[in-house]
Chain A
Amino acid sequence: MSIRTVTFDAIVVGGGGAGMRASLQMAQSGFKTALISKVFPTRSHTVSAQGGITCAIASADPNDDWRWHMYDTVKGSDYIGDQDAIEYMCSVGPQTVFELEHMGLPFSRTEEGRIYQRPFGGQSKNYGEGGQAARTCAAADRTGHALLHTLYQQNLKNGTQFYSEWYAAELVTDARGHAAGVIAICIETGEAVFFKAKATVFATGGAGRIYSSTTNALINTGDGIGMALRAGVPVQDIEMWQFHPTGIAGAGTLVTEGCRGEGGYLINKDGERFMERYAPNAKDLAGRDVVARSMMMEILDGRGCGPNGDYVYLKLDHLGEEVLHTRLPGICELSKTFAHADPVKEPIPVVPTCHYMMGGIPTNIHGQALRLDGGHQGQAQHIPGLFAVGEVACVSVHGANRLGGNSLLDLVVFGRAAGLYIEEALRQGMDQAEPNSDDMDRATARLRRWDDSRSGESVASLRKELQTTMQNAFGVFRKGDLMIDGVKKVADLRGRIGEAHLGDKSKAFNTARIEALELDNLLEVAEATAIAAEGRTESRGAHSRYDYPDRDDENWLCHSIFDPKTKQLGKRDVNFKPKTVDTFKPKVRTY
């Protein structure tokens, strides 16, 4: 397969918040940078983020301190977030948020003219001793939209070269495993092109579409994880999936935690504010994993609402029409459209829904992708040429449970950090990996395999089966025997997806081909998730097992590492050595 090559200093794959923050940094430096995105950038999933970006900018509370934010994040992660990375994110955060404001992001404002901040789950003052904090910077309930459009506008201004509606299909590596770029398909024409670059930045986002019920966009198919695993790059903590407490029942669309931050609360069928029983202090603003589990227990104990008792209600009407229409206008719209409920008058039916992938490609704070030398407990080595930022990466600032508002901060802090690092590395001279014809053959094999398919099962039916398997065996509560069965089903699906059929072989804007390639990636993410979830024999953060109900710090106060070559689960030490503050030692986690 002979294909055209285009050459850049750096390429960014993915046009969400992390990708566009990275590309902006590099475009400003004058290096030749391309941003490849399978959708026009403002259609990326960052656009759906609602509640805000958490950061100690000391607007709502002049005494706020990034160290308090760091404490909350470490605790929220159930102590497997890396403290050096969390320290970096929380301390650099204010500067990155002010930069966004200077770029034009239309934040909501306080009477003093500063950025408006609202309370979010898991936030405290004074290291958990000073009560609820209000630390999430918001543009009404459309913060992701405002952030993504602002970053796109700045990239336009700075002349980033966009390849919109180009689909990155495979990472190209040389014989040593160094990254040389990607194979990407122009969706409009079907042409496959080799994008050759010294630095390849994956900013491909999450993979919530491995579940049948998810808040994620249809495009969140784990393309970066799939490409990494096929190239032999490991993934870390991939069993850690966040179930957001408030997805609209049936539709799956997200209702921001900001609703509870503004004073909304959850009720069961008896009208009881049940979170008071599970989290007496923080109540509805406990960590997302805690709230999601509490909701599921109410439902499983027969106190769910509706004809089938399979959801609870989010009550907002007591906040009054004016607060709802100024602070939560998007939620009012979404609720009317997807739940046929006007929050001004009636509660919204909600249920925990797959929302966020805490795991991903392990990286350091510069976004450099890591692999372990010498197997389990081995030393982490960076992979030359490969970077990952945003949801696809696992720095790890979220550990076993992400706090609300920390994902947007993660995107801009580490998108920026990777950009800064690559800029400097390019200035000092980076090597370009040179793939040979075998490497190129390997990178294009998957394209040929689908184009050569003559018969077999359909992409849509296999995708549905995969999603159902993951939903049933790897949800909010997990159980050993169900997971073992789930691992087997996913293995069986691997065989069948390998022989599935692509009916439409045309070139122009062939979305059937893209969906087939995405299915391969969903499978990779699902398999890694299944094996890692079955392998972590404890309950921590979002990973909650009936058969191992307790946290096991002796054996599992560590990252899991899934190695795609052996399909085995290894362990990696968590960083407990922040540079400027004392270590936050693991404690019992209550809210």
Chain B
Amino acid sequence: MKVSIYRYNPETDREPYMKEYEVDTGGKDLMVLDVLNLVKEQDDSLVYRRSCREGVCGSDGMNINGKNGLACITPLSLAAPGVLDGRKALILRPLPGLPVVRDLVVDMTMFYNQYEKVQPYLQNNTPAPAIERLQSPADREKIDGLYECILCACCSTSCPSFWWNPDKFLGPAALLQSYRFLADSRDQATDERLARMDDPFSLFRCRGIMNCVSVCPKGLNPTRAIGHIREMLLERAV
């Protein structure tokens, strides 16, 4: 099969280019990461991130035939119609909207900065009991669909609002994590958390495009979380 990969080495290339490879997959429905590993055996200068190879570490987010996803859990049959049977090339590009370091590796600094801005840690100033803090199953259920985020950046880098204002708009990943703590019955910093987002950019640049929902490899829904934060801000205002 044909694989077309975005290549750029800052030491030798003046500009990026697409390089074509021919890979023998034996007709198998491999994962995109397996295909990348086969290409690297041919050409060890190809660069990409990978770690767990099972969709939980979030290293190998990339743009696969136009859609962001994790290479390790995207089989060729789902990459795009025609890729598996060789009618179409597998096209791999770095996540959009972030500076490219080399080939498929992007500089994630802006993404991590937004994550850190939401103070992504539990805040509770009452003295801790000798055992765990109690939480009812119903309260615990409120953070399902939020805590599972793996910080792969597929969502934020598919979001046009994040492309425009990656420094001022927190982006879907960071907002999902913000809500993860707002929704946690053990957290006491609700007001401070909301106050920090009460400006035209941090949260309100979300235009409900929902690219984040359609690409999230863990099936999470940042748009819904953003909606909940909006409601909380509204209630706080009246």
Contacts and interface: CB of A to CB of B under 8 A. Distances in A.
B234 interface: no
Interface in A499-521: 502-504, 506-512, 515
Interface residues of A, number: 59
Interface in B111-142: 112, 116, 119-122, 124, 128, 130-137, 140
Nearest to A459: B44
Interface string B137-158: 1001001000110110000000
Interface stretch (A100-108, A195-203, A440-448): A100-108
A254 to B, nearest CB: 8
B44 to A, nearest CB: 4
Interface string B23-54: 00000000000000000110011011111111
Contacts of A330: 56
Interface stretch (B9-17, B79-87, B200-208, B222-230): B9-17
A507 B11 CA distance: 8
A104 B101 contact: no
Interface in A48-107: 48, 57, 97-98, 101-104, 106-107
B118 to A, nearest CB: 10
A260 interface: no
Contact of A101 (B44, B48, B133): B133
B166 interface: no
A512 B40 CA distance: 9
Contact of B47 (A39, A112, A460, A509): A509
Given A142-B148, A217-B51, A98 B45 contact: no
Contact of A217 (B40, B41, B53): B53
A221 to B, nearest CB: 11
Interface in A146-190: 146, 149, 153-154, 156-157, 188
Interface in A112-130: 112-115
A1 interface: no
A501 B186 CA distance: 55
Interface string B98-113: 0001110100100010
Interface in B42-89: 44-45, 47-59, 73, 75
A330 B184 CA distance: 21
Contact of A43 (B12, B52, B132, B133): B52
A156 B128 CA distance: 20
A48 B54 contact: yes
A253 interface: yes
A146 B10 contact: no
Contact of B137 (A111, A218, A337, A512): A111
A506 B137 contact: no
A219 interface: yes
Interface in A413-458: 458
A42 interface: yes
A156 B181 CA distance: 15
A503 B132 CA distance: 54
A109 interface: yes
A371 interface: no
B52 A45 contact: yes
Contacts of B73: 337
A97 B105 CA distance: 36
B102 A106 contact: no
A278 interface: no
Given A146-B147, A218-B53, A108 B140 contact: yes
Given A102-B133, A109-B137, A508 B54 contact: no
A145 interface: yes
Contacts of B9: 506, 508
Contact of A106 (B120, B128, B130, B184): B184
B51 A218 contact: yes
A153 B10 contact: no
Contacts of B128: 98, 102
A512 B187 CA distance: 44
Nearest to A509: B102
Contacts of B134: 112-114
Nearest to B137: A109
B140 A106 contact: yes
A43 B121 CA distance: 18
Nearest to A220: B51
Contacts of A114: 131-132, 134
B122 to A, nearest CB: 3
Interface in A330-353: 330, 333-334, 337-338
Contacts of B112: 40
B136 A113 contact: yes
A43 B148 contact: no
Contacts of B135: 109, 113
Contacts of A101: 132-133
A395 B77 CA distance: 46
A42 B147 contact: no
A134 interface: no
A480 B116 CA distance: 54
A39 B150 CA distance: 14
Nearest to B12: A506
Nearest to B218: A333
B132 A218 contact: no
Given A115-B132, A145-B148, A218-B53, A153 B11 contact: no
A170 B103 CA distance: 28
B14 to A, nearest CB: 14
Contact of A156 (B53, B59, B121, B148): B121
A47 interface: yes
B187 to A, nearest CB: 8
Given A48-B54, A188-B101, A506-B12, A102 B44 contact: no
A104 B122 contact: yes
A520 to B, nearest CB: 16
Contact of B121 (A153, A254, A337, A504): A153
A40 B111 CA distance: 13
Contacts of A40: 59, 108, 112, 151
Given A115-B132, A188-B101, A43 B47 contact: no
A44 B151 CA distance: 13
Contacts of B187: 104
A512 B227 CA distance: 44
A507 B10 CA distance: 10
B150 A42 contact: yes
Contact of B101 (A107, A139, A156, A508): A508
Contacts of B103: 509
B45 A106 contact: no
Nearest to A333: B55
A219 B51 contact: yes
Contacts of B58: 42-43
Contacts of B121: 103-104, 153-154, 156-157
Interface of A: 39-40, 42-45, 47-48, 57, 97-98, 101-104, 106-115, 139, 142, 145-146, 149, 153-154, 156-157, 188, 217-219, 253-254, 330, 333-334, 337-338, 458-460, 502-504, 506-512, 515
21 contacts: A45-B57, A48-B52, A102-B128, A102-B132, A104-B121, A106-B140, A106-B147, A109-B140, A113-B134, A113-B135, A114-B134, A142-B56, A153-B122, A154-B121, A337-B75, A458-B44, A459-B44, A509-B105, A512-B40, A512-B44, A512-B45
Which 3 A/B pairs are nearest by Cβ-Cβ distance? A104-B122, A113-B134, A153-B121
